[in-house]
Amino acid sequence: MTIGEMENVEVFTAEGKGRGLKATKEFWAADIIFAERAYSAVVFDSLVNVVCHTCFKRQEKLHRCGQCKFAHYCDRTCQKDAWLNHKNECSAIKRYGKVPNENIRLAARIMWRVEREGSGLTEGCLVSVDDLQNHVEHFGEEEQKELRLDVDTFLQYWPPQNQQFSMQYISHIFGVINCNGFTLSDQRGLQAVGVGVFPNLALVNHDCWPNCTVIFNNGNHEAVKSMFHTQMRIELRALGKISEGEELTVSYIDFLNISEERKKQLKRQYYFDCTCEHCKKGLKDDLFLGVKDDPKPSQEVVKEMIQFSKDTLEKIDKARSEGLYHEVVKLCRECLQKQEPVFADTNIYMLRLLSIVSEVLSYLQAFEEASHYARRMVDGYMKLYHPNNAQLGMAIMRAGLTNWHAGNIEVGHGMICKAYAILLVTHGPSHPITKDLEAMRMQTEMELRMFRQNEFMYHKMREAALNNQPMQVMAEPSNEPAPALFHKKQ
């Protein structure tokens, strides 16, 4: 697949949704429908010193741009790749005397590119930046205020010798960033590190149960021969069979919520009313709010339990943001115990707690207890998510790791295999996370063989291994569970 080739799709008018993209041929699970480089992209303000400004990988050691001392790169290749886009930025930062925020930096990068290439269609783009939606007319008062502030700052930052754009055009660009920004993550997919605009991707409409997923790939320069180097890009990948002429869709938000809440979120963040099958028919809502069958709790009890769970989740958020992880665990345990006789195993209020408690306990290295919660979480998720959902794959991977660390080698290996199968579809075999998973799969397979041959020896070996090397500690739980695909203010 060559980046920027768009012969697999065509633009059409989707009923009631404006423009959309449809397939011009048949696709199967894991097929890449298209790959696209960012029109423009920037690293988040808080990470400018630890993430490469070209490929968005997190690196220990980065080279700094000698002139502005702001931009950072992995190596010469990344620095050379960046120059065309950084040249104007570099002198603007020097002139302005400071670095404006990520929003302003991204708008300026887009406009330098427009200045360079003109505002019409650029190569490999099915739509121009001018033609992307901005939804400025839907902005509320608060958003309007922020927009005016951004435009003001932009005008101070933008050099007088460059092409001058109208206020209306500048507002349009900020609107485009606001509703089409896509989150870029580091090479392990653990952290959101930047935001970019991908015009072709912006044409793909939302569906809560989509037929595609989009994944960010940082590319790689490790091969000795530069002809094998790959560049950062997004890939639109098929989740199952797609027929010729079928509309291509992705999900802008996480599926795990009742349709009413998903619709509210989409309206608030993306300004449209979702009319997908799952929202129209409220599919899976009964599972999301599932309660025990025998004995069935009264409606009153269910209502109270939902309220109690919401209150507890708020307390948990607060404790987690303060780093009070033992408090988080205590709150989760208590709430889960109360939920037990009321909620079924697919209830989202239960699953949210299971996800938090297993993550935090793993971080605290209490793998044994974490592994039980992680297993219950995966059982629930598998009844709710599309079988090839990327979030499902990542959750099973984490649960598999937890079980492996807890010494549940059979369960751990099974989960790692399952996660690997999903990520082959959603991320592809060359993605660093998939490669990590493949290594884990081989390691756990070997351990499992040993376990089956001689359980006693296996445990001896494990003990020795654990005593000799410090256990690999999981990343500290953050307040945002996993980077959301699309870059939106909450």
Residue ranges binding Zn ion (CB under 5 A)? 52, 54-55, 65, 67-68, 71, 74, 78, 90, 208, 274, 276, 279
Measured CA to CA, the distance from residue 170 to residue 110 in angstroms comes to 10
Q: How far is the CB of 233 from Zn ion (least distance, A)?
A: 13
Q: 208 vs 348, which CB is nearer to Zn ion?
A: 208
- Phi and psi dihedrals of 247, rounded to 5? -70, 140
Q: 25 vs 87, which CB is nearer to Zn ion?
A: 87
Q: 78 vs 126, which CB is nearer to Zn ion?
A: 78
Q: How far is the CB of 65 from Zn ion (least distance, A)?
A: 3
Q: 90 vs 170, which CB is nearer to Zn ion?
A: 90
Q: How far is the CB of 411 from Zn ion (least distance, A)?
A: 33
Sequence-separated (6 or more) residues with CB below 8 Å from residue 449: none
Q: How far is the CB of 473 from Zn ion (least distance, A)?
A: 26
Interstrand relation of 192-197 and 40-43 (parallel, antiparallel or unpaired): antiparallel
Measured CA to CA, the distance from residue 364 to residue 329 in angstroms comes to 10
Q: 55 vs 377, which CB is nearer to Zn ion?
A: 55
Q: How far is the CB of 71 from Zn ion (least distance, A)?
A: 5
Q: How far is the CB of 246 from Zn ion (least distance, A)?
A: 17
Measured CA to CA, the distance from residue 350 to residue 344 in angstroms comes to 8
Q: How far is the CB of 11 from Zn ion (least distance, A)?
A: 22
Closest by Cα among 108, 174, 117, 176 to 147: 174
User: 3-state DSSP call for residue 283?
Assistant: coil
Measured CA to CA, the distance from residue 83 to residue 12 in angstroms comes to 36
Sequence-separated (6 or more) residues with CB below 8 Å from residue 367: 361, 402, 403, 405, 406, 407
User: Do the Cβ atoms of 248 and 34 come closer than 8 Å?
Assistant: no
Closest by Cα among 47, 48, 93 to 68: 93
